[in-house]
Amino acid sequence: MEENLPLLKIGITQGDTNGIGYEVIMKALANSRILDLCVPIVYGVGKVAAFHKKTLGLNDFTMQVVKSVQQANSKKANLLNLSDEEVKVELGVATPTSGRMAELALKAACKDLKEKMIDAVVTAPINKSVMPEKSFNFSGHTEFLSDFFGAKDSLMMMVSENLRLGFVTNHLPIEQVAQNINKELIIKKIKILNQSLKTDFLCTNPKIAVLALNPHAGDNGKIGKEESEIIKLAIEQVFSEKINAFGPFPADGFFAAEQYRKFDAVLAMYHDQGMIPFKVLSMDGGVNFTAGLPIVRTSPAHGTAYDIAGQNIASCESFRNAIYLALDILHNRLSE
CA angle 289, 66, 38 (to 5 degrees): 40
Amino acid at 141: H
3-state secondary structure of 229: helix
The mean pLDDT of the chain is 95
Query: Does 1-151+293-336 match 154-284 in CATH topology?
Result: yes
pLDDT at 142: 87
pLDDT at 1: 43
pLDDT at 7: 87
Cα 327 from Cα 336, distance rounded (Å): 15
pLDDT at 305: 96
pLDDT along the chain (336 residues), means of 10: 69 98 97 93 97 95 95 95 95 96 97 97 96 89 92 94 95 94 98 98 97 94 94 98 98 97 98 96 93 97 96 96 97 87
- Overall size of the chain counted in residues: 336
Closest CA to 298 of 45, 10, 99, 7: 10
CA angle 270, 275, 277 (to 5 degrees): 115
pLDDT at 283: 84
Q: Residue ranges per domain, the chain? A: 1-151+293-336, 154-284
The domain 154-284: what is its CATH number?
Answer: 3.40.718.10
Cα 73 from Cα 86, distance rounded (Å): 26
The domain 1-151+293-336: what is its CATH number?
Answer: 3.40.718.10
